[in-house]
Amino acid sequence: MQIEETALPGVLILTPRRFGDARGWFSESWNRKTLRAAGLDLPEFVQDNHSLSARIGTLRGLHYQSPPHAQGKLVRCGRGRLLDVAVDVRRGSPTYGHSVSEELSAENGRQLWIPAGFLHGFVTREPDTEIIYKCTDHYAPECDGAVHFASVGVEWGVEMSDIQLSDKDKAAPALADWTSPFTWEPA
């Protein structure tokens, strides 16, 4: 398991080892013991999510769940290719509003660890792209929220006219008009 830091402290790229043979490959996509041995002790995961996006340019996000149901997410791509984005929205954080964008694909096997206190979203770069992610809290619709994807300064790499959004994401407030429910606590 390779663990890499990103420009945002706390957001990490994990790349599990792949064992290739004549049939294809095998990989442990999640192993608590291996991560702990590598010095990384992630919170307990209680829910796995899996979604399919049919068209290139499908954009889901930017999403969060407020405390007490804030979620950390360990994200990977099971099929196709996507650009995954995390935005720091912890009030008082030295990196508030900063983002990390990472291409996750079925081919590269990379995973993004996004702690609670960050917005999460992604845009697909191939048709029929599947995303799979582990979450540290259960779905709590009453705590569910979104910030408009175009208000955070992220270069999504897709023509605006090609972007497919849910009605919820179309109606999301801009970052500048929204008060984050998260606060930063120095380590």
- Minimum Å gap between C-beta 124 and ligand TDO is 11
Contact 66, 146 (CB under 8 A): no
Size of the site for ligand TDO (CB under 6 A): 11
Contact 60, 144 (CB under 8 A): no
Residue number with CB closer to ligand TDO (30 or 34): 30
Task: Burial-class residue 130 by CB neighbours within 10 Å (0-12, 13-18, 19+).
Answer: middle
Cβ neighbours for 28, distance < 8 A, ≥ 6 positions apart: 16, 17, 34
How many angstroms separate the CA atoms of 96 and 180, rounded? 10
Is there binding between residue 170 and ligand TDO (CB under 6 A)?
A: no
Q: Is position 133 annotated as part of the catalytic site? A: yes
**DSSP-based three-state secondary structure for 176:** helix
Q: Is position 98 annotated as part of the catalytic site? A: no
Is there binding between residue 76 and ligand TDO (CB under 6 A)?
A: no
Is there binding between residue 52 and ligand TDO (CB under 6 A)?
A: no
Residue among 64, 120, 133, 148 flagged as catalytic: 133
How many angstroms separate the CA atoms of 129 and 127, rounded? 6
Choose, by CB under 6 A, the member of 52, 139, 153, 171 that binds ligand TDO.
Answer: 139
Is there binding between residue 120 and ligand TDO (CB under 6 A)?
A: yes
Choose, by CB under 6 A, the member of 49, 162, 170, 183 that binds ligand TDO.
Answer: 49
Q: Please list the active-site residues.
A: 63, 133
| Binding region for ligand TDO (CB under 6 A) | 49, 51, 60-61, 63, 73, 120-122, 139, 166
